[in-house]
Amino acid sequence: MGQAMSKILSEAKDNPQAFWAQAAKDVVWIEPPKTILEDSNPPFYHWFTGGKINGCYNAVDRHVAEGKGEQAAIIYDSPVTDTKRIITYNELLDEVSRCAGMLAHHGVGYGDRVIIYKPMTPSAVISMLACARIGAIHSVVFGGFAAAELAKRIDDAAPKLILTASCGIEPSRIVAYKPLLDEAIEMSAHKPQAVILEQREQLKAEMIEGRDFDWHDEMASANAVDCVPVNSEDPAYILYTSGTTGMPKGVVRPTGAHIVALKWSMKHIYDCEAGDVYWAASDVGWVVGHSYITYAPLFEGCTTVIYEGKPVGTPDAGAFWRVISEYKVKAMFTAPTAIRAVKKEDPQGTLIADYDMSHFKYQFLAGERCDPDTLRWCEEKLGVPTIDHWWQTETGWSIAANCMGIDPVPVKAGSPALPIPTCDVQILDEGGKELPSGEIGAIVVKLPLPPGSLSGLWQNDARFIEAYMADFPGYYKTGDAGYIDEDGYVYVMSRTDDIINVAGHRLSTGGMEEVLAEHADVAECAVLGVNDELKGQVPMGFVVLKSGVSRAGDDIISELVASVRSRIGPVAAFKLAVIVARLPKTRSGKILRGTIQKIANGEEYAMPATIDDPVILDEIQDALSHIGYPKS
């Protein structure tokens, strides 16, 4: 690593509070914090306590006050509706101020919760910023989420108001939101005072008299309101993530720390500064959409892209490159699964040549493990650094990353590089003992976590401790397994649950997936452990082939088995693989490995609330039956 990175990491490790106190000078405080780190009640740590700040001011008003009002703040590109719109910082300030006034008119004030259940349109981001403006706490739920799951979130957050739209639009269908929302409110014990609905011309929704209000009418009559001071440690938002009990965990993001951390990350990790166009191809319903569609780019004064489309099918596998070319995107961030979808449709990357990519500098990947084959495909076809980085809903931004704005380190395929400054990542065995470099164990982060991470779970301290802190006291349990090499690079191999035990040998399914992904005919894959009477567990591969592959499936499977045996060894006992048309995923693109595993083992499973297309599970079941699974 270069001297600059080495110096920053060393200074941050020696004095984390001084490091973040300096970073905090880059944001606008109404009252500066009195304490940089409040650490009197572990594991509940709070950064920048005693300060007052406003997230909306730092995202919008600040840039207008500094003379950047005519710069583009938001680019909205919707191939599914054939709509394009550029919103300047001046225009954004006007719309957010009136939206905040609309919320206040309906009785929303400091500390009140607002659920936002919207598609990928500017009004979703405007709604989030409007909540921040008046100190309300937003909880964004992915548009089209199942009614039962939405009801759980309504009961937990107890929102005063719900902001929604009549529908979401997929390439092949329109998803009606209002019936789902009405059903969720009917199911929930808590009843919101009002629903404000944005009617979309593709599908109009039925309104309930007295409860439902029209977004456009309410915005037209709303009075603009100013920002209010928010206590630094108060929640900016609640974001629900799945829980093992079936009840989602409400991750709480403290206001001041999330502003400081995200602003720091834009320049230092992504190498993007005010005026640059930055695109996170995600959805506001996920943490990426919170951190890197809405907040971080606007804190830095960048232009952020809201894309209502898909990597393929809107209209083709060149969709990403068209957006990058058209708006002169400097850095783009998406999930490896999105790139694999593009690679499946256009294996040679021929569509890239149709676009001017000369201004494109970085392709960032995160959200799931990035296999080396996907990373190398991006590097070769795009001709720019492809940067894997690792983080979670709970952390809100990177745990490990290659900091392109400081001093890039050499890329090692399969690794998101080094822990970010002040993040002390360690590998522990089941007894909590630190493992030597190269050995796989539980990945943990020594407390306190850096700013911007969760400060707790919404009104559930006991579950916060049980879920994240109890197994390794003094550490945050990431739930991921992996190792650290001799150079300090972190390798995230799989979720802890995906470390399988084959005849006493602990093996990473991620390592086997790497081997399968390198096969010339494989577009994407998943490996998981299935029950075996003799060995306890054995690995099974699920493989999706690239478009146009006509070779016999049995030949391909034989080659895959031989590759794993050659690369990992006979100890892996990899003999089972099945070719499938597609893999079941969440809407954010994560493969539902646990659900596939239950199907293969013949176990009961609940339909995942986040599944993209439930029909795929029937396809998986059919494919397994052809090879005799589940075993009777």
Average pLDDT in the chain: 93
pLDDT per residue as tens digits for the range 295-349: 999 999 999 999 999 999 999 999 999 999 999 999 999 998 899 889 999 999 9
pLDDT of residue 1: 58
Does residue 245 carry a pLDDT above 60? no
For residues 549-564, average pLDDT: 92
Distances (CA, A) of 575 to 106, 205, 326, 513: 61, 52, 47, 14
| Range in 194-203, 249-258, 302-311, 614-623 the model is least confident about | 614-623
Lookup: tokens for 421: 């400054």
Distances (CA, A) of 394 to 138, 240, 573: 16, 10, 35
pLDDT of residue 445: 98
Does residue 448 carry a pLDDT above 80? yes
Angle, vertex CA 396, rays to CA 423 and CA 473, nearest 5: 50
For residues 588-602, average pLDDT: 86
Q: Indicate the SS3 state at residue 326.
A: helix
- Whether domain 503-625 has CATH 1.10.3720.10: no
How many angstroms separate the CA atoms of 502 and 498, rounded? 12
Phi, psi values for residue 16, rounded to 5°: -60, -35
Q: Which residues pair with 444 in a beta bridge?
A: 426, 477
Does residue 537 carry a pLDDT above 90? no
Phi, psi values for residue 545, rounded to 5°: -90, 155
For residues 343-359, average pLDDT: 96
Does residue 505 carry a pLDDT above 70? no
**DSSP for 167-214, written as a single string:** EEE-SS-EEE-HHHHHHHHHH-SS--SEEEEE-BTTBPPPPPTTTEEE
pLDDT of residue 134: 98
How many angstroms separate the CA atoms of 468 and 555, rounded? 44
Distances (CA, A) of 265 to 291, 361, 426: 10, 17, 22
Pairing label, strands 249-254, 398-401: unpaired
Beta strands (DSSP E) in 7-146 are: 29-31, 35-41, 44-49, 52-53, 72-78, 83-88, 113-117, 137-140
pLDDT of residue 109: 98
Angle, vertex CA 569, rays to CA 564 and CA 572, nearest 5: 75
Lookup: tokens for 334: 């998406």
pLDDT per residue as tens digits for the range 138-193: 999 988 888 888 999 999 999 999 999 999 998 888 999 999 999 999 999 999 99
Angle, vertex CA 89, rays to CA 83 and CA 90, nearest 5: 105
* 422-426 contact pairs (CB < 8 A, 24+): 422/12, 422/13, 422/16, 422/19, 422/20, 422/450, 423/399, 423/449, 423/450, 424/13, 425/399, 425/400, 425/484, 425/490, 426/475, 426/484
Task: For the beta carbon of residue 275, count every other beta carbon within 10 angstroms.
Answer: 13
Within this chain, domains 3-309+389-482 and 503-625 share the same CATH topology: no
Task: For the beta carbon of residue 455, count every other beta carbon within 10 angstroms.
Answer: 21
Rg (alpha carbons) of the chain, rounded to whole number: 24
pLDDT of residue 5: 79
Kind plus residue range of the DSSP H or E element containing 343: helix 336-345
Q: Which residues contact 141 (CB under 8 A, 6 or more apart)?
A: 115, 116, 117, 149, 150, 153, 240, 285
3-state SS of 212-266? EEEHHHHHHHCCCCCCCCEECCCEEEEEEECCCCCCCEEEEEEHHHHHHHHHHHH
Phi, psi values for residue 158, rounded to 5°: 50, 60
Q: Indicate the SS3 state at residue 43.
A: coil
Lookup: tokens for 23: 């970073």
Which amino acid is present at 183?
E
How many angstroms separate the CA atoms of 271 and 365, rounded? 15
How many angstroms separate the CA atoms of 349 and 113, rounded? 45
Question: Any idea what DSSP says for residue 586?
Answer: B
How many angstroms separate the CA atoms of 442 and 495, rounded? 9
Q: What's the first-to-final CA gap in the chain, in angstroms?
A: 54
Q: Where are the domains of the chain?
A: 3-309+389-482, 503-625
607, burial (CB in 10 Å: exposed 0-12, middle 13-18, buried 19+): exposed
Residue ranges in 503-570 assigned as alpha helix (H): 509-517, 553-567
Which pLDDT band holds residue 631 (cuts at 50, 70, 90)?
confident
Report the candidate in 382, 389, 425, 423 with the shortest Cα–Cα distance to residue 404: 389
User: Which strands make up the sheet holding 475-484, listed edge to edge?
Assistant: 425-428, 441-446, 475-484, 490-495
Lookup: tokens for 45: 């740590």
pLDDT of residue 247: 79
Does residue 269 carry a pLDDT above 80? yes
Q: Diameter of the chain by CA atoms?
A: 71
pLDDT of residue 407: 87
**DSSP for 370-409, written as a single string:** --HHHHHHHHHHH-S-EEE-EE-TTTSSEEEE--TTT-PP
385, burial (CB in 10 Å: exposed 0-12, middle 13-18, buried 19+): middle
Angle, vertex CA 36, rays to CA 33 and CA 41, nearest 5: 115
For residues 120-136, average pLDDT: 98
pLDDT of residue 2: 65
- For the domain spanning 3-309+389-482, the CATH number is 3.40.50.12780
Q: Which residues contact 67 (CB under 8 A, 6 or more apart)?
A: none
